[in-house]
A and B are shown apart, each in its own frame.
Chain A
Amino acid sequence: MFNYTFQWKQAMARLPQMLDGALVTMQIALLSMLLGILLAVVLTMFRLSGIRVLAGFTKTWVEIARNTPALFQIYMAHFGVASLGIYLNPFLSLLVGITFNNAGYLAENFRGALKAIPDTQTRAARSLGLGAVGAFRHVVLPQMLRISFLPMTNQMVWAILMTSLGVTVGMNTDLYGVTQDLNALTFRTFELFAIAAVIFYVITKVITLGARLIAARLFRY
């Protein structure tokens, strides 16, 4: 039934290269997450601004990010903008694509979190003389990030997994790209992708557990 000889040793010899790829994967995910959070905060402020154009901008972004495939978003960040004359290298395209996705999802998470914070919090902050921005920054934002912390962890995991879509725009230095290249060289398909899967699993597990530790330290109230 199986006509395949497992050669784990040969595949394991490539582990260092794959781990280098894993570093690139984590780098992209982390960067896309930091940028995504910043953008999502800006998008959320747009939504709260009461200015229709800005709120509409946020809404459109969130709609596209959540209702189209991540693959499409990354593809557009490479080939889409290239046809407009803007060339982004695969690393940047992947980063932009995932950041776009992250920001959209996180902005939606933030919206939910904001609903859990009573208006009276802003009112109390304003009554102390804080301006609208100060009240948001010192009173609303920290609570919003606290409430969205677990969804943010999910998004971080999702960002790690999304990096695998980079191969479609020619990315070959991340974990998935490296694995695919090694596969073309050695044809140890099952072994290589199994190892890659384990590495993905370990990374996401560490993120989830790490997030729990951070939450316990950070949110003591």
Chain B
Amino acid sequence: MIEIENVRKSFGPLEVLKGIDLTVQNGEVLTVIGGSGSGKSTLLTCINGLEPIDSGRILIDGTEVHAKGTDLNKLRRKVGIVFQQWNAFPHLTVLENVTLAPRKVLGMARAQAEEIAVRQLNHVGLGDKLKTYPGRLSGGQQQRMAIARALAMSPRYMLFDEVTSALDPQLVGEVLDTLKMLAQEGMTMILVTHEMAFARDVSDRVAFFHQGVMAEIGPPAHIFGDPQHPETRKFLSSSRQ
């Protein structure tokens, strides 16, 4: 379970998160939508401790992420994150990209790490690209590799930060299909996305962020079918055009 309690976060004079309260249950798929600068991506990087917060707290299975004594490296094994820019490691093959963390963080033997990596890469449809360097892959393939890389750590939670935003339109589908598959397998996920149809389709709940505040949250049918907050209505009508 991920519990977010009254989290505030500023970059200089700009307050990007103005007291966020949110709980994500195990097995839940939560999508976060909102305009740029609404704080949704920042929230994800705060959840796995890549960004510090100013006040409030975030608990993952009861462990406070930003507490002094928290071993973030250990905590991050539970929480996978995939970014808008997929950040493939260019000097490693696809297989090595995926085995790096299991080997160096979990101390797995090469054979065991490769077995897991091959399974994850097959899962995302890259089983035939093991020895390829990321530079030879399309954006969509690199993004699926990044997903496999995160999954190879067997995380309990997955965070997806606009993972299709930097892709060519014709490559978006293959990545969304991968996400959908994960959702159906019961992975607990928080997705920040601009793909409204997809959000409507896979989410258990949808949260709408506006200027650092969670303006509205509810089942997709409510948020998309009968939004209560005027900003939600405005955002949805503009993104439908």
Instruction: Identify the A interface with B (CB < 8 A).
Output: 118, 120-121, 123-131, 134, 138-139, 142-143, 146, 219-221
CB distance from B160 to the nearest CB of A (A): 12
Q: A residues within 8 A CB of B104?
A: 130, 134, 138
CB distance from A110 to the nearest CB of B (A): 15
CB-based contact A221/B87 at 8 Å: no
In the complex, A124→B146 CA distance in Å? Answer: 9
CB distance from A143 to the nearest CB of B (A): 5
CB-based contact A129/B91 at 8 Å: no
In the complex, A138→B89 CA distance in Å? Answer: 10
- Please name the residue on chain B nearest to A126 by beta carbon: B50
In the complex, A27→B161 CA distance in Å? Answer: 52
Q: A residues within 8 A CB of B143?
A: none
- Please name the residue on chain A nearest to B77 by beta carbon: A129
- Please name the residue on chain B nearest to A145 by beta carbon: B91
Instruction: Point out the residue from A118, A130, A219, A221 that lies within 8 Å of B105, measured CB to CB.
Output: A130
CB-based contact B89/A139 at 8 Å: yes
- 5 A-B pairs within 8 Å (CB atoms) are namely A118-B85, A124-B83, A129-B77, A129-B105, A138-B104
Q: B residues within 8 A CB of A128?
A: 76, 80, 100-101, 105, 149-150, 153
CB distance from A146 to the nearest CB of B (A): 6
Q: B residues within 8 A CB of A124?
A: 83, 87, 89, 146
Instruction: Identify the B interface with A (CB < 8 A).
Output: 48, 50, 73-74, 76-77, 80-81, 83, 85, 87, 89-91, 100-101, 104-105, 133-135, 146, 149-150, 153
CB distance from B47 to the nearest CB of A (A): 11
- Please name the residue on chain A nearest to B86 by beta carbon: A124
Q: A residues within 8 A CB of B90?
A: 143, 221
CB-based contact A120/B85 at 8 Å: yes
In the complex, A118→B88 CA distance in Å? Answer: 11
- Please name the residue on chain A nearest to B135 by beta carbon: A221
CB-based contact B76/A126 at 8 Å: yes
CB-based contact A130/B73 at 8 Å: yes
CB distance from B232 to the nearest CB of A (A): 30
CB-based contact B91/A142 at 8 Å: yes
CB distance from A218 to the nearest CB of B (A): 10
Q: B residues within 8 A CB of A118?
A: 85, 87
- Please name the residue on chain B nearest to A220 by beta carbon: B133
In the complex, A139→B91 CA distance in Å? Answer: 8
Instruction: Point out the residue from A127, A130, A139, A142 that lies within 8 Å of B50, measured CB to CB.
Output: A127
Q: A residues within 8 A CB of B150?
A: 127-128
Between A123, A127, A220, the greatest number of chain B beta carbons within 10 A of the residue's beta carbon is seen for A127
Q: A residues within 8 A CB of B133?
A: 220-221
A127-B48, A130-B100 known; 5 new pairs, CB 8 Å cut-off, are A128-B76, A129-B73, A130-B73, A143-B90, A220-B133
CB-based contact A127/B91 at 8 Å: no
CB distance from B49 to the nearest CB of A (A): 9
CB distance from A131 to the nearest CB of B (A): 5
In the complex, A220→B133 CA distance in Å? Answer: 8
Q: B residues within 8 A CB of A123?
A: 50, 83, 87
Q: B residues within 8 A CB of A219?
A: 91
CB distance from A114 to the nearest CB of B (A): 14
Q: A residues within 8 A CB of B101?
A: 128-130
CB distance from B101 to the nearest CB of A (A): 4
Q: A residues within 8 A CB of B149?
A: 128
CB distance from B107 to the nearest CB of A (A): 11
CB-based contact A129/B74 at 8 Å: yes
In the complex, A220→B149 CA distance in Å? Answer: 21
- Please name the residue on chain A nearest to B85 by beta carbon: A120
CB distance from A141 to the nearest CB of B (A): 10
Q: A residues within 8 A CB of B135?
A: 221
- Please name the residue on chain B nearest to A122 by beta carbon: B87
Which 4 pairs from chain A and chain B are nearest by CB?
A124-B87, A221-B133, A128-B101, A129-B105
- Please name the residue on chain A nearest to B136 by beta carbon: A221
